[in-house]
Structures are given as structure tokens and as C-alpha cells.
């Protein structure tokens, strides 16, 4: 939401690239929610099986990078606007408190509409140029995958009790909101792409800086909560939180722009690999269940194996 990460991935892209990111977001969320339901919220163990410990380590490193970047962003925002040091640590403690109180669901329900309202408000009073550029596919998907490694894994943890209609609705809503946020933030931030926090610069230009700062801090707390939830998993022990936060704070000293420019692309490529493997497992699971249903109805063909090949398939 700083605008910097969107500028990095969408620079010189046209409106079609924003649409692509929204469509792909809806599809990715559908896959993650579906796998979350099938795996009862533990997609890493379900997808990677005997390699789950290695996969868990790699994904945690990615979440650690995101967490450190949020700490850097929080410090830069508050020091720049209020000249108040150590804001990142205060937000980290607040995020941990929300996590301990199981307040993530409520936070996410409030956060997205709030961010969208602020973004549209700033856009409506700004003199922003239209989006013009090439049709790009790879970079929008890279940006999405940077978010999906964290966001997709997070939403999968809450998918156990969803039915198919709810999963489809949630996926379409997520894709729509994602593309709208990217579009409006990109339009606002693009004229200030050289700045470290382009979205705040855009808000300053129309005297709405306070609202943009509040919006960004809300987004940062939400991302921190998601990162901590997946870093700490079920332990949520205070010593673990303090150790993770101390190490992440050291990494955050590299600066927000440096982390976004050099480490976020790494998270994106890891996100693509994670999603591709999840998609392959999901499609294979659907194929097995389709074949089993074919066999049950005595309509099996050469592409389907016998019932004995499938152990406890879950209808979906």
C-alpha cells in the first residue's frame, strides 16, 4: 500500500495488466481456499508431504522478509510524518496482541474496505494521469505471487468450514478488491514514483496525508499479523515473538526501499513456485475424485484407475 511495491512491478504497464492481476488473484484464492478446505487448514503438509519441513522453512523465510519490510515501512512512515522513533516495535507489539486475542478475522474485515475508501478518496481529488503502457503479464503475476505466498497461505487456514459457493464468492470478491486497490494506488502513486512512499506523497499533494498514514499503518498491522501468525504458527509464545521481532528489526535497518527492490522479487519467485505446486496438487486431487466418481457410476475409462488407488478421497 506504500505504492512503491506497485510501482516496482507495474511501472510502464497498461490497464490490462491490472485486470490480469485481478483475474489471476481470484483464481489463486480459489485454489488456496479449496486446498485449505481439503487439507483442513494445513496446506504445507498436504502439498509437500515428506518435504513439508523444508517447505515450511522456505515459506517462513519469506514471511520473515515481509515482516522485516513492514517494520521498515512503519518506521519510515512515522519518522517521516511524526518524527517518532521505534513506531515499528510498537506496531509489532500491537500486532502480536491482536494475534493472541484471535482478532485477525475482524481486522481483515475492517481493513480492506477502509483502505479502499481512503484510496478512492485520494484518487478522486487528485489530478492523476491515465494508465498507459505495455501489456505485461509476468510482472503483475509476480506482484500477485508476492502477496499470495502470505495472503493465500493465510486465507487457507480459515477455509475448513466453507462450502463451494462461499469459496467461489470469496475468490471473486478478493480478485475484484485486489484489482481495484492496485488500480487506484497505481494511479495516485505513479506521478511520485521516485519517492520512497509514493502513496503518501500523493496524499500530501491533496492535503490528505493524515488519512493515507492511517491507512498505511492499518495495512502494515494487518500484514504483520499475517506474517507473525505463519511465523509463530500455533505456538504464539512471547519469547518466540521477541526473538523473531529482534532479528526482523535488524534486517529492517536496510531500509524499506532496499527491501522492496531487492528482496520482494525473491518472495515473488518463491510465491510462484509455491502456487504452481499447490495448483498441481489441487488438479491432481480433483482428477482422482472425478475418476472415483466415474468408477462409482460404472463409467470408468482408461484414464481412471481403480478405487483401491485412492485412499480416503474427500468429495469437493
Q: What residue segments make up the domains of the chain, in order of their start?
A: 4-309
- What is the arithmetic mean of pLDDT over 249-259? 89
Q: Is it the case that residue 290 has pLDDT exceeding 50? A: yes
How do residues 92-118 score in pLDDT, each as one tens digit? 999 899 888 888 778 777 887 888 888
pLDDT of res. 311: 47
Collapsing DSSP to helix, strand or coil, 134 comes out as: strand
Checking if the pLDDT of 26 tops 70, the result is: yes
Question: What pLDDT score does 300 carry?
Answer: 47
* pLDDT of residue 309 exceeding 80: no
Confidence at 293, pLDDT banded by 50, 70, 90: low
Structure confidence at residue 295 (pLDDT): 63
d(CA 178, CA 268): 16
Mean local confidence (pLDDT), 284-288: 83
Q: Please state the rounded mean pLDDT for residues 70-91.
A: 82
Q: What is the pLDDT of residue 244?
A: 92
Question: H helices within 233-303, ranges in order?
Answer: 238-252, 256-258, 264-296
Query: How distant is the alpha carbon of residue 245 from its chain centre?
Result: 20
Indicate the pLDDT class of residue 306, thresholds 50, 70 and 90: very low
Average pLDDT over residues 32-39: 90
Q: pLDDT above 70 covers what percent of the chain?
A: 91
| Inter-CA distances, 58 with 231, 260, 308, Å | 11, 18, 34
Out of 76-85, 178-187, 241-250, which region has the weakest mean confidence (pLDDT)? Answer: 76-85
Whole-Å CA distances, 141 to 21, 82, 163: 6, 35, 27
Contact 62, 207 (CB under 8 A): no
Burial 25-62 (b: 16+ CB within 10 A, else e): bbebbbbbbbbbbbbebebbbbbbeeeeeebeebbbeb
Q: Does position 27 have pLDDT exceeding 90, yes or no?
A: yes
pLDDT at 297 over 80: no
CB 18 within 8 A of CB 135: no
Residues forming a β-bridge with 97 = none
pLDDT at 34: 92
Q: Which of 71-80, 158-167, 227-236, 280-289 has the lowest mean pLDDT?
A: 227-236
d(CA 99, CA 265): 27
In the chain, pLDDT over 90 holds for what percent of residues?
Answer: 14
Whole-number pLDDT of residue 172: 94
Residue with C-alpha cell 486446498?
Answer: 35
SS3 state at 82: helix
- Residue 30 pLDDT greater than 90, yes or no: yes
- Residue 309 to residues 287, 302, 304, Cα–Cα distance (Å): 12, 14, 10
41 phi, psi to nearest 5 deg: 90, 5
* In the block, residue with C-alpha cell 504464539: 236
Q: Which of 59, 67, 94, 72 is nearest to 224 (CA)?
A: 67
The residue ranking higher by pLDDT, 147 or 304, is: 147
Whole-number Å distance between alpha carbons of 165 and 67: 33
| pLDDT for 308 | 45
Contacts of 142 (CB under 8 A, 6+ apart): 9, 265, 268, 269, 272
Average per-residue pLDDT for the chain: 82
Residue with cell 512512499: 197
Mean predicted confidence (pLDDT) in 247-259: 90
| DSSP characters over 12-68 | TB-HHHHHHHHHHHHHHHHHHHHHHHHTTT-HHHHHHGGGHHHHHHHHHHHHHHHHH
Q: Give the pLDDT score at 50.
A: 81
305: which residues sit within 8 A by CB, 6+ positions away? 291
- Residue 256's Cα: distance from chain center in Å? 18
Amino acid at each position: 500500500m506504500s505504492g512503491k511495491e506497485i510501482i516496482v512491478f507495474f511501472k510502464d504497464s497498461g490497464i490490462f495488466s491490472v485486470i490480469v492481476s485481478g483475474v489471476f488473484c481470484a483464481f489463486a484464492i480459489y485454489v488456496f481456499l479449496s486446498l485449505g478446505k481439503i487439507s483442513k487448514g494445513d496446506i504445507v503438509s498436504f502439498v509437500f508431504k515428506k518435504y513439508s519441513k523444508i517447505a515450511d522453512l522456505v515459506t517462513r523465510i519469506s514471511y520473515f522478509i515481509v515482516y522485516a519490510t513492514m517494520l521498515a515501512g512503519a518506521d519510515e512512515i512515522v519518522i517521516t510524518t511524526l518524527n517518532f522513533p521505534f513506531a515499528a516495535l510498537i506496531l509489532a507489539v500491537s500486532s502480536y496482541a491482536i494475534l493472541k486475542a484471535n482478532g485477525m478475522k475482524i481486522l481483515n474485515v475492517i481493513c480492506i474496505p477502509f483502505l479502499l475508501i481512503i484510496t478512492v478518496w485520494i484518487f478522486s481529488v487528485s489530478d492523476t494521469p491515465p494508465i498507459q503502457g505495455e501489456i505485461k503479464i509476468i510482472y503483475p503475476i509476480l506482484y500477485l505471487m508476492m502477496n499470495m505466498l502470505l495472503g493465500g497461505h493465510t486465507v487457507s487456514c480459515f477455509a475448513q468450514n466453507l462450502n463451494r459457493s462461499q469459496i467461489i464468492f470469496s475468490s471473486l470478491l478478493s480478485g475484484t478488491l485486489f484489482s481495484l486497490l492496485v488500480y487506484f494506488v497505481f494511479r495516485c502513486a505513479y506521478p511520485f514514483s521516485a519517492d520512497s512512499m509514493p502513496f503518501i506523497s500523493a496524499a500530501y499533494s491533496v492535503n490528505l496525508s493524515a488519512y493515507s498514514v492511517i491507512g498505511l499503518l492499518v495495512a502494515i498491522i494487518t500484514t504483520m499479523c499475517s506474517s507473525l501468525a505463519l511465523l509463530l504458527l500455533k505456538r504464539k509464545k512471547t519469547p518466540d515473538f521477541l526473538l523473531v521481532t529482534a532479528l526482523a528489526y535488524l534486517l529492517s535497518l536496510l531500509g524499506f526501499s532496499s527491501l522492496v527492490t531487492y528482496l520482494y522479487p525473491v518472495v515473488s519467485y518463491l510465491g510462484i513456485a509455491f502456487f504452481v505446486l499447490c495448483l498441481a496438487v489441487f488438479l491432481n486431487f480433483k482428477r482422482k475424485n472425478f475418476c472415483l466418481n466415474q468408477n462409482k457410476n460404472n463409467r470408468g475409462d482408461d484414464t481412471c484407475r481403480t478405487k483401491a488407488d485412492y485412499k480416503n478421497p474427500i468429495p469437493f
